[in-house]
Structure 1
Amino acid sequence: MSFIRTFFGDIKPEQLGFTYSHEHIVCRPPYWVEKGENDLLLDNKEASLKDVLDFKKHGGQTIVDATAVDYGRDVEVVAEIGKEAGIFIIGTAGFNKSFLWDAKIEEKVRKVIGPFDTYTQWIDHSSINELTEFVVKEIEEGLEGTSYKGGQVKFGTGYNRITPLEEKTIRAVARAHHETKAPVHSHTEVGTMALEQIEILKSEGVDLSYVSFGHMDRNPDPYYHEQIAKTGAFLCFDGIAKIKYAPESTRIHCILELVRKGYEGQILVSGDTARKTYYKHYDDGLGLEYIIAKWVPRFIDEANKAGFDGEKLVYLFFVENPAKCFAFKK
């Protein structure tokens, strides 16, 4: 029997509906607060809610909020937005990548993780088993002491490297996955180090079909994507609309290359919309409606011209594949 854990209770996979697989709805990452990077602070509930309502208006039903404890999440406010918009929210337990752990911990988080001044100190001074217990608690009891339970576990690594502390969190998340059966999500900086992460996960006995690798379109290398897909893992193309990194034609090409090779059942699509300038109701950006309202029609057109059934692929990427990827299989 499988189920998906949302902020509003466990649901059947078929209830999930049209899903964005990697977004950030409200967050104030301490690292960026210290740096004064206002664009990276999503701190206006009403603005975020309006964008979520745009997504809902076009048929969206679920958003995976990939904000971990060290990225300044606001669990209560995100839950309120989900309730007011009438969509499902899947929350995230676990960790991001190491440079964010250097930021000073806010008081509300300190109550959860102990008397450490920075995230680096917390990870360094905690054993793998202690970190595992923390992640398990966030899945089975609630995120940051709330009643809202995480629906996936997450780890991350930096650009072209895995630090000892990052490996520590990968192992902790892997062990929390074994205990809870929660799906696993990986942050790959600029799409790098997925294969090295996979070796660590294998050493922990993780079935890769439970794992999704984020930011795959930041490294638009079809050969690399195929090596990941061969493991059975999901690949998340979550940089839609970020033309500064690559044109949409590049992303669509990489996705269709995987489809040609038979991996259409392992593809997820989202926007990782984590800046004010990406949001319509913060700063006149393209907003959460862009993928469902603008990108999807373009993808269908391009896929059809390439000889595929574009509508069928969209249903896979946004409905069927998320229903498989985010399921607890007990």
Structure 2
Amino acid sequence: MSFVRTFAGDVSPNQLGFTYSHEHIVCRPPYWVEKGADDLLLDDKEKSQLDVLDFKRHGGRTIVDATAVDYGRDVAAVQQISNETGITIIGTAGFNKSFLWDAPMRDNLKQLVGNYETYHHWIEDKTVNQLADFVIQEVEQGLEGTKWRGGQVKFGTGYNRITPLEEKTLRAVARAHHETKAPIHTHTEAGTMVLEQIELLKEEGINLEYVSFGHMDRNPDPFYHEQVAKTGAFLSFDGISKIKYAPESTRIHCILELVRKGYEDQILVSGDTARKSYYKHYDYGLGLENIIAKWVPRFKAEADSLGFDGEKLITKFFVENPARCFTFKK
């Protein structure tokens, strides 16, 4: 039996439609709260919902909310947005990356995992299998003690390094995948350490066809991308609209290089929209509508001009590939 787990329950993969595969909708990351970094706090449910409605108005159907427990997700608010807009939303169990873990642990989580002061203390104290049990619970019972279950499991690593605690969460998430069959998503800081993540996942017996590696466009290296694609994994180009990192021409070139080499079935595209200044209804940014309304036509035009079928590729990246990537196969 194959299904996708969403805030509205388990659905057939063919129900997803046009999908953003990596976004953040409502979250208050404890690390950034502590630092007073207001731009990184998506803390107004109504404003986030307006951007989700913009996405829907242009034909969007599904959003993967990649906010893990240590990034201050608001499970109830995101579920309400899904319910009130009719947009399918997939939630995320697991972890992010180690530099966030020195922030104070939120009180509601302490009630579930014990009275730890920080995420670092919690992860350091628990065994790999105990952390795996927490992730399994979030997939099979509910995120942070709610009734809304996670639809993917996640871990992350830092820039050009994997700390011992990051390796610990990687192995915990891998073991949770074996138990639940939930798809795996990984955070890669600036697109680094993917090959090293792959080796650790192989040690845990993971079939890499169930894994999507994030932020591939932050490391715009076609040779590197091909090494990842050869494993059968999904590559997530999830920095669309962020010109400060690279022009869209660079991202499109890297994507089309993978297509040219035969990997079009392994590409995901999204925006990782995680700042007020990226959202239209918080701070006049490009908003959740930008990819579907403006980037997609631009990609089609460029792909067509180079002899590709732009329309077919857009259907691959936003409909067919997400439907396979986010499916539980039991």
Distance 1:329 1:198 in 2: 21
Is 1:101 the counterpart of 2:101 in the alignment? yes
Q: Does 1:140 align with 2:140?
A: yes
2:70 is matched with which residue? 70
Query: Which residue identity is paired with 2:286?
Result: L
Aligned residues: CA RMSD: 0.4
Distance 1:113 1:158 in 2: 24
Query: Which amino acid letter does the alignment assign opposite residue 56 of structure 1?
Result: K
Partner of 1:111: 111
- Alignment gaps of 5+ in structure 2: none
Q: How far, CA to CA, are the matches of 1:248 and 1:308 in structure 2?
A: 17
Distance 1:75 1:228 in 2: 32
Distance 1:289 1:109 in 2: 33
Structure 1 counterpart SS, 2:91: strand
Hey, what's the Cα distance between the residues in 1 that align with 2:84 and 2:13? 22
Residue pairs, 1:1-330, within 5 angstroms: 1-330=1-330
Residues 118-143 of structure 1: CA deviation (Å, up to 9, x unaligned): 00000000001100000000000000
In 2: Cα distance, 1:253 partner to 1:110 partner: 46
- Quote how far apart the aligned CAs of 1:113 are: 2.0
Alpha-carbon shift at residue 111 of structure 1 (Å): 1.2
TM-score by length of 2: 1.00
1:85 and 1:53 mapped to 2: Cα distance? 7
**Deviation of 1:114 (Å):** 1.4
- The whole-number CA distance in structure 2 between the counterparts of 1:112 and 1:282 is 32
How many residues are treated as equivalent by the alignment?
330
Alpha-carbon displacement from aligned partner over 1:222-242 (angstroms, at most 9, x marks no partner): 000000000000000000000
- CA deviations over 1:193-218 (Å, ceiling 9, x no partner): 00000000000000000000000000
How far did residue 106 of structure 1 move? Answer: 1.3
One-letter code aligned to 2:55: F
Deviations 1:81-137 (A, max 9, x none): 111111111000000000111100111121122110000000000001100000000
Q: Could you tell me which amino acid in structure 2 is paired with residue 218 of structure 1?
A: R
Q: TM-score, normalised by structure 1?
A: 1.00
Superposed displacement of residue 264, structure 1: 0.2
Give CA deviations for 1:284-314 in whole Å, capped at 9, x if unaligned.
0000000000000000000001110000000
Q: CA–CA distance in 1 between the matches of 2:149 and 2:260? A: 37
Any gaps of 5 or more consecutive residues in structure 1? none
Greater CA drift, 181-190 or 112-121: 112-121
1:232 is matched by which residue type in structure 2? G
Q: Report the 3-state secondary structure (helix = DSSP H, G, I; strand = E; otherwise coil) of the residue aligned with 2:151.
A: strand
Q: What is the one-letter code of the residue matched to 1:94? A: G
Per-residue CA deviations over 1:37-92 (Å, capped at 9, x if unaligned) read: 00000000110000000000000000000000000000000000111111111000
The runs of at least 4 consecutive aligned structure 1 residues that moved more than 3 Å come to none
Indicate the SS of the match to 1:39.
helix
Query: What percent identity do the matched residue pairs reach?
Result: 76
Partner Cα separation in structure 2 for residue 106 and residue 178 of structure 1: 28
